[in-house]
Amino acid sequence: MRTETTPAQADVSELDLVRQCQAGDTEAFDQLVTRYRTRVFAMIYNMVHNEQDAWDLAQDSFVKAWKSIGRFRGKSSFYTWIYRIVMNVTIDWLRKRQVKAGGAEFDDAIQLKEIDPASKTVPKADPLPHQHLERQEIRARIDHAISQLSPEHRAVILMKEIEEMQYHEIAESLGCSIGTVMSRLFYARKKLQNSLRDVYENV
């Protein structure tokens, strides 16, 4: 799995860092945060489609992880463990938001985030204006299609397709069975195929 590590950081095993955190070492926790903050933020952003909310939820998730790191026993990877916290926090937030909205679908007022040109994952050259506009439109279509999925369906499709997680890792992160993950993937894919086919066929 991808992590944001420098060679020096990679020398320290994740489990060692966790042990240090359990002894109260905030610097060790800082290192774990550095490894996962971008992925955690991106995952949450893809679920909530709002930068500020994603930022706050990522913060909440890491604070929660710090508070409960004493209970981490190393039975799963730290990555799976933190994703479980992230998913609980995010899905809970989405559900509360849905209730507040009187059961209506999630906020469609999508805030499009400018992609950071300094990011390692984007091309160095700035896109041309028409390409930029086109990208925004595509992103808006994708976000809208994802917003039509339930929080659980969003989670599985993003963890599988973007994070490339295995079924069992997704199951652990969501606290459900592998069969449930596969079933949710089936329906999430079908829905997205129906709503985005014209987009991905023409890109």
Q: Exposed, middle or buried: residue 69 (CB in 10 Å: 0-12, 13-18, 19+)?
A: buried
- CB of residue 189 to other proteins, shortest distance in Å: 5
List the one residue from 42, 88, 98, 136 that touches other proteins (CB under 8 A): 42
**Whether 146 contacts 192, CB under 8 Å:** yes
Scan residues 100-129 and list those touching other proteins (CB under 8 A): 113, 115-116, 118-119, 121-122
- CB of residue 46 to other proteins, shortest distance in Å: 5
**Whether 87 contacts 174, CB under 8 Å:** yes
Torsion of CA 84, 86, 90, 92, to 10 degrees: 50
Any contact of residue 134 with other proteins (CB under 8 A)? no
* Count of residues in the chain: 203
Any contact of residue 52 with other proteins (CB under 8 A)? no
- CB of residue 182 to other proteins, shortest distance in Å: 4
Any contact of residue 187 with other proteins (CB under 8 A)? yes
- CB of residue 128 to other proteins, shortest distance in Å: 17
**Whether 182 contacts 170, CB under 8 Å:** no
Any contact of residue 186 with other proteins (CB under 8 A)? yes
Any contact of residue 168 with other proteins (CB under 8 A)? no
Q: Is 121 left (phi over 0), alpha (psi -120 to 50) or beta?
A: alpha
List the one residue from 17, 35, 41, 90 that touches other proteins (CB under 8 A): 41
- CB of residue 28 to other proteins, shortest distance in Å: 12
C-alpha 160, offset from chain centre = 11
Report which residue type is found at 18: V
Lookup: tokens for 79? 């990555």
Any contact of residue 142 with other proteins (CB under 8 A)? yes
Q: Within 13 Å, how many C-alpha atoms sit on residue 55's CB side?
A: 4
Note the residues at the interface with other proteins (CB under 8 A). Answer: 26, 29-30, 33-34, 37-38, 41-42, 45-46, 51, 55, 58-59, 62-63, 66-67, 113, 115-116, 118-119, 121-122, 138-139, 142, 157-158, 160-162, 167, 179, 182-183, 185-187, 189, 192-193, 196-197, 199-201, 203
